[in-house]
Every structure is written in structure tokens, then in C-alpha cells.
Amino acid sequence: TDEHKKLLVACVAHHSDLLSTIQELNSCAGPSFFLQCFENTIRMCMIAFMATTTVADQMQVWSSAQFFLAAVGQLFLYCWCGQQISHLTESISDAAYDSGWEEHDVSTQKNVAFIMQRAQKTIVFKGGWFYTLTTETFVELLRLSFSYYTVLRNINDR
């Protein structure tokens, strides 16, 4: 029906807008996301190093713990949101396939096939040219931070 065609055309337009918005966001904010990831990785390393190598009172320990958790939380938030968006966009093709497209005319079927083909590419948020913001990246950056911490501790203990 005409109503289904209009809805499908609106979905195609919305998906195109979404793709261009994500591309623009990655080009504008990607370097900032990279700096945030890099900064938080170094910050976690340095806070852990300072907390374990200096004699501190209880207030300094709590302060260090708060800064550490804030860095972890900020990094996790970026990565989790990126993961969620990637996960949701993976279901676009499935939703188009389950839309009952086979009951419509050839033009509508071609439009649905077009949506499914374009939706094969997962949308990702990037941290510059180096990271895709996912929970896997979050774990990798935590490991990297603690690797840096271990190197600093080994150098300091010599």
C-alpha cells in the first residue's frame, strides 16, 4: 500500500541521515574520543602508581580512589555507548527482513533489499583512527593501563 511505501521511504531516509550523522560525529569527535581514551589510560596508570608508592593518609587514599573510579567510569561510558549503538545497528537488517517485505510489490522489495544491504555495515564510534569504542576496547585499555603501571612499579622498585 501507499502507506507502507511512505513508511519505507521514511525509514530509508532516516537510516541515511543516521549514517551521515555518525560519519560526521566520528570525523569531528573521533580525535576527542581518542584523547579521552589516551588520557584516561594514562590517568588510571598514574593514580594507581601514586597510590601504591606514596605513604598517604586515609583521605588521600579515598581521593585517589575517587579519581581512579572517575577515569574508569568515563572510559567505560564512552565504550559502552559505542558498543550499544553498534549492537543496535546490527539488528537493522534483521528488522528489515522481518518486515513482511515479501508480501509487497517489487519496488518495495527492492527498497527493503537496499536497506538490508546498507545495514550490513555496522555503525561504530571511533576514538580517532586507533580505537573502535566497544567494551572490548575498554578492557584492552584497562589492561594497557595496568601494564604501564607494572612497568613504572618495576622501574621504581630498582
Q: What are 42-89's pLDDT values in tens digits?
A: 999 999 998 888 876 788 888 888 999 999 999 999 999 999 988 888
pTM for this entry:
0.79
Those residues whose C-beta lies under 8 Å from the C-beta of residue 23, and which sit 6 or more positions away, are none
Q: Count Cα neighbours of 12 within 13 Å in the Cβ-side half-sphere.
A: 16
119 pLDDT higher than 70: yes
Which structural domain range is residue 78 located in?
2-157
| Structural contact between residues 79 and 133, judged by C-beta atoms closer than 8 angstroms | yes
What pLDDT band is residue 24 in, cutting at 50, 70 and 90? very high
Number of domains comprising the chain: 1
